[in-house]
Chain A
Amino acid sequence: MTNLKGFSRRGVLKGGLAGILATGVSPLIFSKGAYAQEFCNAPTGDTVTLGFVMPLTGAYADEGADQQRAFLLAVEHLNGEGDGGMIPTFSSKTLTGGGILGKKVVYVTGDDQTKPDAGRDTARRMIERDGAVMISGASSSGVAIAEQALCQEKGIIYMAGLTHSNDTTGKDKKRFGFRHFFNAYQSGIALGPILGDAYGKDRVAYHLTADYTWGWTQEESMIAATEALGWKTLPPVRTPVNAGDFSQYLTPVLNSGADVLVLNHYGFDGVNSITQAMQFGMRDKQVNGKDFQIVLPLVSDLMAKGAGEAIRGVYGTANWDWQLGDEASKAFTKSFGAKYGQPPSQIAQTSYAQVLLYADACERAGTFLPSAVIKALEDYEFDGLGNGPTTYRGSDHQCFKEVYAVKGKDAPANPFDLLEVVATASKESVTYDPAIFGGELGPDTAAAC
């Protein structure tokens, strides 16, 4: 063994350590692990996990099933499988089919049962056990708001699914939460003029309203829009979510003096209430010398399919329709139809778009770090995802884009040809001052993972 004079083993170790510290190498050595852990569920391997929470049971289960199809399709396209869907039409060209930031996208799914507590529990499990770096989903605003609040606490990006309450990006908005779907206020702006033209300015409306945040804000927005036309509103009646049989709430409508019934119901509730209203013969009645009308302010293809003939001629609004003629919508519909044998619904489009928008934001930010992803999404302008030019407003994380007034088709050409777009409200016309709904986004740092 060579004996180097003046060097002892202890001395070498001490000196080496001192040298490392002095030259500033130590931060590079230790920061690799530290950097990986500086935000919640930072991806460390060659995969990145996304968490998808959907209502697979409960009042909105039909929507949840379509949402799941869209999420899986989005993951497939991000990983370079299939025909790419809307990736080629998306204005941002960062997505190349190589996953996100070179990591293959994997996912976990869960059922929120259309209940806020179940949705929150499922999302928590995905964050704490499955290591999801982003949560997306919900087709109920109650669920979305609960999950969004959890994600704010945990420092996880939340890309909301179908949530239409003004509160999601209003009083309950969060820095970590983003909504692509439109809201009830925008429905009122889009639908008001159509209702005025179709049914006149002298109407009496009766509202049946789902008794939770979405129903309340839609009722408020529709009353504001229709009273601006000159309509009168009878005291609204709140109905429980998943009520099933609405007959006891529909019976009083017949003798109330109302000549328009506004159903602030969604999913199976909307299908049941409009079908049962038809069973009561409401559309055949004459009240105040006018034909009785029914309005379903938020309507989807899935609801139209469930309601069958009851939806014909009924006005509502939608975030998107598969029969829109733009290239992005056509590409998405083709891709979805080829895989699942049916066209996508509006919840599928918004969910798919949200996954792509998150992936793109990570690519543009060059990291999964939530604060950087948030910055990349705020005030981001994009196109090519089916709704025309769109802005993710930074002050409330609400997307601003076209909103569509739709009507149940009288003579469908095929089993999926159920709604027709009768008017398009421009992005500018549905843009509003974020201050009207209050709320605070909060910090872009998490309290705890």
Chain B
Amino acid sequence: MDAILAQLLNGLDKGGAYALIALGLTLVFGTLGVVNFAHGALFMLGAFCAVTLRQLITLETVVIDPEQLSAWGSPLEIRTPLAQTWFGDFGAVLVDYSVPLSIVLAIPTMLLIGIAMERGIIKHFYKRPHAEQILVTFGLAIVLQEVVKAIFGPNPISQPIPSAVRGAFDVGAMLGLAPGALTYPMWRLIYFLFSLGIIGAVFAFLRFTTFGMVVRAGMADRETVGLLGINIDRRFTIMFGIAAVVAGLAGVMYTPLLPPNYHQGMDFLVLSFVVVVVGGMGSLPGAVAAGFLLGILQSFASMSEVKQIIPGIDQIIIYLIAVVILLVRPRGLMGRRGMMES
């Protein structure tokens, strides 16, 4: 039972990342009708916002001391972090909390990147076939990842978990289980709660604000909303920016779990498309539900008991589900009737 609960928790944590990326992807598809293959790159750019901030606040002064020798006999380099020189203990706290602090940098950066991407390139492809949209956004994704590779190099750059939330949390004790029976990494729990918070905020924004209401109306019938004198294009542009922020924040908070590299966006892109297809193209609740569902299924498929029966199932389970869904219910779990069914 403990093992099942632990695996369920793991599925929810993985599903949180899938749901956040799929949510942004669906927002773009639902509003602009664009299949955005550069969405994974936005996740990656968000992750590199965290890398950038950390590199800035861990800048060091290097002084070569010819009097002292390194372990291999060369003059010793003495490195002093600037943040600690300037801010003392507060500088150390800044360095320790660099990942959550990166959210402050990521929100405006990703909003600007999203809006620039939409205004600069994607708006020219609204009326083009989906195949052309896919080609241009895929090309954009490659350009973005090569730019990141040129700046930051090809290797993953690890980001630390703040020291206060390192280690595992005894979830079992909260559920009345024996102490230590069900422990889970604290940062992964934070990520899960963070993803729930972001998903809740997006839904609340769309549901309870006038802006959101207009966007939902535009998603249902763009022309009629336009005829009412509302500049729906501007709102959709902002929604593209918001989708970029959601992907970027998912990327920022994921960095301590998996050191980011330039290719990370592509790795998540395919998965998130499968999530969107399973959830239903254009369905926001479908994207979220499918994200968590596929995360949980992938986690259970990785258990040794399951892998012994079907070796390699952990690698194909998500795609297997997608095939079944496409055959049995092409519009996805919560897709609109008629979507992808004609």
Query: Smallest distance from the beta carbon of B2 to chain A beta carbons, Å?
Result: 5
Cβ-defined contact, B74 with A338, below 8 A: yes
Choose, from B6-14, B99-107, B195-203, B222-230, the stretch at the interface: B6-14
For residue A334, which residues in chain B have a CB less than 8 angstroms away from its CB?
Answer: 72-74
- Can you name the residue of chain B whose Cβ is closest to the Cβ of A305? B158
- Cα of A337 to Cα of B183 in the assembled complex, Å: 43
The smallest beta-carbon distance between A309 and chain B, in angstroms, is: 9
Binds B, one of A101-109, A173-181, A231-239, A425-433: A231-239
Residues of chain A with a CB closer than 8 A to B314's CB: 248
Does chain A have a CB within 8 A of B162?
A: no
Q: Which of A55-63, A154-162, A389-397 contacts B (4 or more CB under 8 A)?
A: A55-63
Complex contact B7–A252 (CB within 8 A): yes
B320 CB–A CB distance under 8 Å:
no
Shortest C-beta distance, A41 to chain B (Å), equals 29
In contact, B74 and A237 (Cβ under 8 angstroms): no
- For window 216-254 of A, CB contacts with B under 8 Å fall at 234-238, 240, 244-245, 247-249, 251-252, 254
Closest Cβ neighbor of B302 among chain A residues = A248
Give the chain A neighbours of B167 by CB distance below 8 A.
279, 281, 284
Per the 8 Å Cβ criterion, residues 274-333 of B in contact with A are 298-299, 302-304, 307-308, 311, 314-315
**How many angstroms from the CA of A235 to the CA of B22 in the assembled complex?**
35
Binary flags per residue of B143-184, CB closer than 8 Å to A gives 1, else 0? 000000000001110100100001110000000000011011
- Does B56 lie at the interface of the complex (its beta carbon under 8 Å from any beta carbon of A)? no
Out of A251, A286, A306, which one reaches B158, CB within 8 Å?
Answer: A306
CB of A313, distance to nearest CB on chain B (Å): 16
Q: A247-B13, A338-B73, A341-B74 are in contact. Are A237 and B304 (CB under 8 A)?
A: yes
Set of chain A residues within 8 Å of B166, measured between Cβ atoms:
279
Residues 400-449 (chain A) with a chain B CB within 8 angstroms:
413-414, 416-417
A272, B304: Cβ atoms under 8 Å?
no
State the Cβ distance, A292 to closest chain B Cβ, in Å.
Answer: 11
Is the CB of B85 closer than 8 A to any CB of chain A? no
Known: A255-B3, A280-B168. A247 touches B188 (CB 8 A): yes
A194 within 8 A of B: no
Complexed CA–CA distance, A272 and B158 (Å): 9
Contacts of B257 in A (CB 8 A): 245, 247, 276
Q: Is the CB of B72 within 8 A of A337?
A: yes
Contacts of A240 on B, CB cut-off 8 Å? 315
B53-86 at interface with A (beta carbon < 8 Å) = 70-74, 77
Q: Determine whether the beta carbon of A279 is less than 8 Å from that of B188.
A: yes
Q: Determine if B220 is an interface residue (Cβ-Cβ < 8 Å).
A: no
Q: Does B236 contact A (CB under 8 A)?
A: no
Q: Contact string, A257-299, partner B, CB cutoff 8 A, digits 1/0? A: 0000000000010011001100111001110000000000000
Answer whether residue A65 sits at the interface, using C-beta atoms and an 8 A cutoff.
yes
From 1 to 47 in chain B, residues with beta carbon under 8 angstroms from any chain A beta carbon are 2-3, 6-7, 9-11, 13-14
With a cutoff of 8 Å between Cβ atoms, the chain A residues found around residue B193 in the complex are none
Quick check: A235 and B72 within 8 Å, CB to CB?
no
Which residues of chain A are near B158, meaning CB under 8 Å? 271, 275, 306, 308
Interface residue A343 (Cβ < 8 Å from any Cβ of B):
yes
How far is it, in angstroms, between the C-alpha of A97 and the C-alpha of B73 when the chains are bound?
A: 23
Tell whether, in the assembled complex, residue B303 and residue A252 are in contact, meaning their CB atoms are under 8 Å apart: yes
Instruction: Pick the residue among A65, A244, A254, A286 that contacts B6 (CB under 8 A).
Output: A254
Partner of B71, one of A65, A275, A284, A416: A416
Contacts of B299 in A (CB 8 A): 248, 251
Measured between beta carbons, the chain A residues less than 8 angstroms from B71 are: 323, 333, 337, 343, 413-414, 416-417
B183–A234 touching, CB < 8 Å: no
Residues of A within 8 A of B303 (CB): 252
B181: A residues at CB distance < 8 A: 255
Q: Is there an interface contact between A248 and B73, defined as CB atoms closer than 8 Å?
A: no
- Interface residue? B259 (CB, 8 A): yes
Smallest beta-carbon distance B44→chain A, Å? 13
**Could you tell me the distance between the alpha carbons of A417 and B70 in the complex, rounded to whole angstroms?**
11
Q: Which residue in B6, B183, B298 is a CB contact (below 8 Å) of A281?
A: B183
Contacts of B11 in A (CB 8 A): 248
- Judged by a CB distance under 8 angstroms, whether B91 is at the interface is no
Contact partner, B156, options A237, A255, A268, A286, Cβ 8 Å? A268
A416-B72 Cα distance, complex, nearest whole Å: 10
Q: How long is the Cα–Cα vector from A133 to B188 in the complex, in angstroms?
A: 51
B122 → chain A, closest Cβ, in Å?
29
Chain B CB within 8 A of A71 CB: no
Whether B89 sits at the interface, judged by CB under 8 Å, is: no
CA distance A345 to B30 in the complex (A): 51
Give the chain B neighbours of A322 by CB distance below 8 A.
72
The reply to whether the CB of A336 lies closer than 8 angstroms to some CB of chain B is yes
The answer to whether the Cβ of B258 comes within 8 Å of any Cβ in the partner chain is yes
How far does the alpha carbon of A98 sit from the alpha carbon of B221 in the complex, in Å?
Answer: 78
A350-363, CB under 8 A of B: which get 1 and which 0?
00000000000000
- In the complex, what residue of chain B is closest to A287 when comparing beta carbons? B180
Task: Tell me the bound Cα distance from A62 to B158 in angstroms.
Answer: 13
Which one of A251, A272, A416 contacts B10 once the chains associate, using CB atoms below 8 Å? A251
Q: How far is the CA of A245 from the CA of B259 in the complex (A)?
A: 10
Residues of B contacting A338 with CB < 8 Å? 72-74
Residues of B within 8 A of A256 (CB): 3, 304
B132 surroundings in chain A (CB, below 8 A): none
Q: Are B267 and A235 in contact (CB under 8 A)?
A: no
Q: Does B187 contact A (CB under 8 A)?
A: yes
CA distance A252 to B307 in the complex (A): 12
> Contact at A245–B258, with CB atoms within 8 Å?
yes
Interface bits A45-74 vs B (CB < 8 Å: 1, else 0): 000000000001100011001000000000
A residues bordering B, Cβ < 8 Å?
56-57, 61-62, 65, 234-238, 240, 244-245, 247-249, 251-252, 254-256, 268, 271-272, 275-276, 279-281, 284-286, 306, 308, 322-323, 333-334, 336-338, 341, 343, 413-414, 416-417
Using a CB–CB distance below 8 Å, which chain B residues touch chain A? 2-3, 6-7, 9-11, 13-14, 70-74, 77, 154-156, 158, 161, 166-168, 180-181, 183-185, 187-188, 257-259, 263, 267, 298-299, 302-304, 307-308, 311, 314-315
14 A–B contacts, CB within 8 A, in A order: A61-B154, A61-B155, A65-B155, A234-B304, A238-B307, A247-B14, A248-B299, A254-B3, A271-B259, A279-B185, A279-B187, A285-B183, A286-B180, A337-B71
Known A333-B71, A334-B73, A341-B77; further 19 A-B contacts with Cβ < 8 A: A61-B154, A237-B307, A245-B258, A247-B185, A248-B10, A248-B11, A248-B14, A249-B302, A251-B10, A251-B302, A252-B303, A256-B304, A271-B158, A279-B166, A279-B187, A279-B188, A284-B167, A308-B158, A337-B73
